[in-house]
Amino acid sequence: MALYAGSARSSSTAAGRVTRHSFSFGPHYDPANLGFGPLVCHNDDLLDPSQAGGAGYPEHPHTELEIVTWVLEGALVHTDSSGATHVVEAGRAQVLSAGSGIRHSEVADSSSGRCRFIQAWVTPTTPGTEPSYVLGEAPPPTSGLVEVVGGGHGLPIGTRGARLLVARLAPGQAVALPEDPRQHVFAATGAVDLDGVAVRGGDAVRLTDEPGRVVRASEATELLVWTFA
């Protein structure tokens, strides 16, 4: 088990935007932290929609990435070169499969207040596919982890064996983590105890071949878990 404190993450700032990086990213190069299995980016973005001209990422290109976004607060406006425009509200996921190449933009919805979202980049199993996009519905209330991307119930993703699961935990509530050999456990909000390890909001834990771990919330927590078979 390896704990990565949120306070140790590198960060980037731009007009109306603060981004915290869990892995080596752009000018924040770290050869010892390039990724975790196929997960090569896990960014935590906070956008201020009061910024003149909007806040976020203007149109830019991507290739050969599965780009997964989970909105924690507010709403995000997604536009891509296929002509599609979607508003992604808090509690919903989107998957953009860049494939052979696509352009997109992500900006805060000014009518929904500030926007916070987690965006992960995952390398695809098969390169050169046609680009695609899918937007999920808010998951139903549950007492445990909900599969929102991959697996048998989540949005399709072009990375074999990759899943994103989300849990909203009340204080004292516990969940057992999946059995997958690789797991990236991120406390987006709140705080949890992971078998004796205190994980606070913004912290992540990376597990390799450690089945049977249990997470217990110390306070109200939104937990994001990437698993890789």
Domains of the chain listed by start with CATH number: 10-135 (2.60.120.10), 146-228 (2.60.120.10)
Count of CB atoms situated within 10 Å of the CB of 196: 6
Q: Which residues contact 119 (CB under 8 A, 6 or more apart)?
A: 41, 42, 43, 45, 67, 68, 69, 70, 106
Q: Is the pLDDT confidence value at 15 over 90?
A: no
Residue 53's pLDDT band (boundaries 50, 70, 90)?
low
Cα–Cα separations (whole angstroms), residue 82 to 108, 126, 132: 20, 21, 9
**Which residue did the predictor score with more confidence, 53 or 17?**
17
In tens, the pLDDT along 175-184 reads: 999 999 999 9
Exposed/middle/buried for 12, CB within 10 Å: 0-12, 13-18, 19+?
A: middle
The separation between CA 11 and the C-alpha centre of its own chain, rounded to angstroms, equals 16
Residue 116's pLDDT band (boundaries 50, 70, 90)?
very high
Residue 70's pLDDT band (boundaries 50, 70, 90)?
very high
- What percent of the chain has a predicted confidence (pLDDT) above 70? 98
- What percent of the chain has a predicted confidence (pLDDT) above 90? 88
pLDDT in the model for residue 72: 97
Q: What phi, psi does 8 have (nearest 5°)?
A: -95, -5
Q: Which of 19-23, 80-84, 114-118, 182-186 has the lowest mean pLDDT?
A: 80-84
Cα–Cα separations (whole angstroms), residue 80 to 1, 75, 142: 38, 17, 32
pLDDT in the model for residue 112: 84
pLDDT in the model for residue 139: 85
Q: Is the pLDDT confidence value at 51 over 90?
A: no
How far apart are the C-alpha atoms of 203 and 117, rounded to whole Å? 15
In tens, the pLDDT along 130-150 reads: 999 999 998 877 778 999 999
Residue 52's pLDDT band (boundaries 50, 70, 90)?
low
